[in-house]
Amino acid sequence: MTQRYLEGEDLNDKGQLLQGASRKEGLIARYGAPLGQQEPNALVAAWNVVLIAG
């Protein structure tokens, strides 16, 4: 995958891969709070990567 989709991004509506996906929520990174040793004002986004063997 060479595209990333971020929660709340206006351009998500124009992403062809995202618009053609049956489970759009699985392609959009969600923002969260900094954890552990990260700076308190760090911007943190999480993706779930799924590898399909076949």
Q: How far apart are the first and last CA of the chain?
A: 17
User: Of the candidates 38, 19, 37, 40, which has an alpha carbon nearest to the alpha carbon of residue 28?
Assistant: 19
Q: Please answer whether residues 5 and 27 qualify as being in contact, where contact means their C-beta atoms are separated by less than 8 angstroms.
A: yes
Residues of the chain under the 50 pLDDT cut? none
The reported pLDDT for the residue numbered 2 is: 67
The reported pLDDT for the residue numbered 9 is: 92
